[in-house]
Structure formats: structure tokens, C-alpha cells
Amino acid sequence: MRVLFQSQRHFTIWKYLTSHGQLLLRSVPTSAERKRVEVLFRKVAAIKAGMELDELTIRDPSASELMTISQQIGSPAAQIGRVFVIETSTWNGYIVASEFATAEDDGDYKTPSSLLIEA
């Protein structure tokens, strides 16, 4: 199971836009962490996640996880998108989407995301 992204920081589900099915996770700058970190999923087809994400890991699913997620969403997950397993310090979930991207920048709480396609 390949790890695609890992961070010890606190993330929140920041924004969901129905245009392009975009889901943005954001970790805002703090006194200890000066940079803003964002994670974006595009063309989201299914999601099982909490609003608060501490110690975030995003990885590929195992074969058994892929089968379980397909059963939960009622169709073969791989046919509707790529499956991303979401792990935090307190729970596990998933996002089925077509794309995944990350960015780190000097933005703050109010600075628009460089990853979002606003239409």
C-alpha cells in the first residue's frame, strides 16, 4: 500500500464545490507551522470522512479495503474513480475521486486556494 501523502498537521474539510466535484482539505498556518498546506480531490464520487483530520495519511487501498469500499458504495469503486484511503489519528475513511493534488504556500486563512478551479 503506497503512501501518497502524510502529515502530522491538523487539517479540516475546507470547501466542497459541486463544479468539478472538488473537495479541499486545508491546514492553516500556525505559530509552529508557517506554511499553509492544501490537499485537493477532483471529481469526487464518494466520501467517508470526518471534518477534522489530525495526523493525515492518504494512501492506496489494499485489495480487501477496495472490496469493502465497493460494497459500501454499491458499485465497483475502481469503475467510478481512484480510491484514496484516508487515515487519521482517530479514524479511517476513503475518498473516491479522479484526481488528487497537494500544495504548500504562504497563504493564510483567507487566501484563495491555488488548487481549486472556480467556475
Q: Which domain holds residue 41?
A: 3-105
Task: Please tell me the distance from the alpha carbon of residue 13 to that of residue 31, in angstroms, as a whole number.
Answer: 21
Mean pLDDT of the 10-18 span = 94
In a domain, 114, yes or no: no
In a domain, 30, yes or no: yes
pLDDT digits (tens, 9 = 90+) for 77-92: 778 889 999 999 999 9
Task: Please tell me the distance from the alpha carbon of residue 15 to that of residue 24, in angstroms, as a whole number.
Answer: 5
Closest by CA to 114, choosing from 49, 21, 33, 24, is: 24
In a domain, 111, yes or no: no
In a domain, 28, yes or no: yes
In a domain, 76, yes or no: yes
In a domain, 112, yes or no: no
Domains identified in the chain, total number: 1
In a domain, 110, yes or no: no
Helical spans, DSSP H, in 23-88: 63-73, 77-80
β-sheet bridge partners, residue 41: 23, 100
Q: Model confidence at 32, in pLDDT bands (50, 70, 90)?
A: confident
pLDDT for 23 beyond 90: yes
pLDDT for 36 beyond 90: yes
**Inter-CA distances, 62 with 7, 59, 65, 75, Å:** 21, 9, 5, 17
pLDDT at 81: 87
| Average pLDDT in the chain | 92
**Inter-CA distances, 29 with 16, 24, 33, 102, Å:** 21, 16, 5, 15
In a domain, 99, yes or no: yes
pLDDT at 119: 64
Q: Are 24 and 12 in contact (CB under 8 A)?
A: no
